[in-house]
Structure 1
């Protein structure tokens, strides 16, 4: 797949840009240093990228300030005592070694990982990811059933994926929608917003004024939900601190 990479500065913000075969531009502010990345369709000019960034400069600065004020992100080691989130609530991790089947569950206010002796960090992460996937698979059908008649469109199929920069995506032609695995860590209202967002794309592919009008018609408080959801994927408990 052809790509083009470049670095630009917008006011005092340094930005890494990648142009590739995608339909829409996306901005990502990454922890721990608030690094800004933009992915944009091939053929997008530098001037167009600058305009996109200028329109979101306040949003970018807000997130950079939050990262600067917070402690440096440390990747979880999947050990007892760490905090992990489910539906916006923090749970201390309890790792227990067992001789029978590995499993994850919420019990007595803890997120319990029952794992074989000597299990690795990666094995524990995969087990936890499977558990998060199951939480979403249980939640999504009823959320879709609620919002599809509100938006006025029906999806043909849905699924769960690990995504680095998107909370959801869709195949408009097939009416298929996908949801980020990490939504299981967010407050349930984030899942509602992503469902409405992706269903709306089945009616309007762009992020233009018609798209915004359709989202607002279905979910008048979408802007507040979007802002909270857009916090770092590594800080899914932002709702719990409101």
Structure 2
């Protein structure tokens, strides 16, 4: 591992058997890492990082905000009956029910996420069931958004992946048309999810954060900046 510095930002660089440069900002601790092709030079790495300097600064500022007011997602969750959890920007409670086969259901009116579990289930199983619930909710809503935005943007999304992410809300592969979303988005308001979906779909038209990319956002979602702010701020229940 090597280190480079771009302006005020220190970046840990690792050479790998990859074709492209890749930057990651760890939101939890504000560190920056880059993977680069093994044959590339540090000068090329510096040039790539410099071209992403505005993006890096935005990510690091977001990291500082979230570290100042810790995000509820980062707090250990007590997987007990009545424990607080979140779905689509609203505070819910876990309800544990004993069942022979694991499962889950969402009861929006009661503000409950019900986990169906065998007696004396380990916390790891409870966590897995809750994450499956989030993933299902996210896939349902994201799939509807993809169907809505595809004809408007003129792009075809070939696959939707949902996974835990430490430093991003989403990613895409323009060459294949595949989009990935962070599992944590299920806890944010739906307006924030729609922004992230549009953001990643716009990258299928323009891979970089260029003026053309932001012009796509401005044209199709004029309020994208306020939606991005909803995505980034600490969770709070606004629904009463």
The TM-score, its normalising length taken from structure 1, stands at: 0.78
Q: Distance in 1 between matches of 2:163 and 2:147?
A: 20
Q: Distance in 2 between matches of 1:45 and 1:156?
A: 31
Is contact 1:187–1:239 with CA below 8 Å preserved after alignment?
Answer: no
Q: How far 1:26 moved relative to its partner?
A: 3.5
SS of 1:25's equivalent in the other structure is: strand
Aligned to 2:27: 29
Aligned to 1:225: 227
Aligned to 1:17: 12
Aligned to 1:104: 104
Spell out the pairing of 1:178-197 with structure 2 (5 A cutoff).
178-197=180-199
Q: Which moved more, 1:36-45 or 1:197-206?
A: 36-45
1:92 matched to 2:93? The reply is yes
Which structure 2 segments of 5+ residues have no match?
37-41
Q: How many residues are treated as equivalent by the alignment?
A: 228
SS of 2:125's equivalent in the other structure is: helix
Q: Which moved more, 1:63-72 or 1:118-127?
A: 63-72
Q: How far 1:180 moved relative to its partner?
A: 1.7
Q: Distance in 2 between matches of 1:144 and 1:58?
A: 26
- 1:193-230 CA distance string (max 9 Å, x none): 11111111111111222211122222111122123213
CA RMSD of aligned residues (A): 3.2
Aligned to 2:39: none
Q: Distance in 2 between matches of 1:99 and 1:221?
A: 45
Aligned to 1:40: 34
Q: 2:238 aligned to 228, 232, 240, which one?
A: 240
Aligned to 1:113: 115
SS of 2:95's equivalent in the other structure is: strand
Is contact 1:183–1:191 with CA below 8 Å preserved after alignment?
Answer: yes
Is contact 2:27–2:166 with CA below 8 Å preserved after alignment?
Answer: no
Q: Distance in 2 between matches of 1:24 and 1:205?
A: 13
Q: How far 1:240 moved relative to its partner?
A: 3.4
CA change 1:151–1:10 in 2 (3 A) is same
